[in-house]
Structure 1
Amino acid sequence: MTRYLLGAAVALTLASPALAQRDAPVGARVDKLESEMRAVQRKVFPGGAGMMVEPQIAPSAPNPVEAAGVPASGAITDLSARVTSLEQQLASMTGQIEQGQYRLRQLEDQFAEYRKATDAKLAAPPAATPVQPVGGPDVTVPEAPEPAGDKSAANSANVTRPSTGDGAEDGYLYGFRLWEAKRYGDAVTALKKVVADYPKSRRASYAQNLIGRAYLDDGKPSLASIAFYDNYKKFPDGERAPDSLYYLGSALVKLDKAADACKVYGELVDVYGATISAKMKADVAKARVAAKCK
């Protein structure tokens, strides 16, 4: 019996260092995982005042005294359970963060592509010579009301420039008279000066729109589309912004870009549908039919 007890004591003495060695790596893993978990949660809950998700297990109850000769394993079991819980939570949180970042990158890429495509279609003139649309009637361009000028002067070769003391008004009326006299190049030059010199004037929207009209009437729909788009982009609250969207659609139809014209007509209704006149709404409806918009 004495020999047996002595042998058991020796066995327990030898087993204790072994248990300590098994304990050390698990404890290090726990410390490392808890540190990583806190770092992840600081990223997920910035300023969270110490917010911390605890492992989803409770420490196990003390094991009853085991039979002599069998090493106690309660501490190892508890640490292993903590490691497993921490690893699962860390993997879950890391996956959620990565998914959120991926979706954000997707949205940013889609929006960048949308802006790039829109600018390329509406702002850049085509490289090739514009082709007139094949099949289907062209969109009828309605005459938007413009302030009355000096008809006798506008119909003559010598267009006179008004001199009322209001530079923006005089410049616009002069460009309008040149346009009426079909001197489109001169009209564009005069109207561009109004936009450059008086961008805060209400006549800037009128002048930019009439620049597009002059290009359109002069058989230059690509330049007209740029002028109309610029008016909508620079002066969205201007009095001629809705007209510019309408004529932009007309210019795009002339460039054989009916699908883009339909998008522009949709934009016109969405943005200005509550404020445009009944006649404009009817003109847009006719233009959509002519462009075969869905």
Structure 2
Amino acid sequence: MISHKSRAIVAGLALFAAVGTSMPVSAQSGDEARLRKIEAEVRALQRTVFPGGDGKYFEPQITGSAPSATSGAAPSTTAVTDILIRLDALEAQIASLTSQTEENSNAIMTLTQRLVAMENAPGTGSSAIVPTPSPSAPAARVPTASPPAATPAVVAAAPTAARLEAVQQIAKPQTDDAADDEYSYGYRLWNAGFYPEAQQQLTMFVEKYPSHWRATYGRNLLGRAYLDDGKPSDAAPWFFKNYQTNKQDARAPDSLLYLGETMIAMNDTNRACIALAEFADTYPALASGRLADQYQRNLGKVTCN
């Protein structure tokens, strides 16, 4: 797109062309000098937009001069034709420069957006502690490198007959509160050290009974079942979700403290310190009371600013 200044120049020169037949030679010479000055400025602008000076990106320069006033050809017709040709060339050059400038601006904007996206990506300075798990995928893992193609996939071993028999020995409560029975059964599996079975049972409970008064206990215990099973990346989302759901729930402070412990297990000192500091600020009575020992123990594992 040609700028307003360029349009004014083109319009002026067109007017000059229209009345050129009636102007004296001295007036045409003065406008000829102005036209050459404009062409020189356009070439200078080209060199700014296309640095290098090797001629690779330059439009061909116009070298033809206006015919002499003493030549045999009609001077008015030659001057008008020359001006129109040179005006067309100027318009094409200005349009090309404008297009290139817009392309450069778009490229810079795209690069800036990509840099901002990279800076705001998780793990690059975001203030969030951990992502909240979605209901359909409550245990999102931290991405890891894919194994080589030649390496066969590791298949989880089926439980042995002895383990199945031991799990069957864990009795499931039968009361008039079915939801509480499901939680209690998950607790018994976790307490007996059957962590994978407890994870499955507690996941079913929190998804089926998200509003039950035991739900805060279930989410917290589900996080612990993963943490005790050596899976802190699976535990962290559940601790965070339980704390975020309602900070006044019975096990919300426990989950926040365990979240700090999980970050320590993941060697994420920054987020561990954030969780521990928020625990002390939000639950000062528990930090010096029921959960004081665990809080101090976690503080001793990290150096926070």
What TM-score, normalized to structure 1?
0.49
**Structure with higher RCO (Cα < 8 A, 6+ apart):** 1
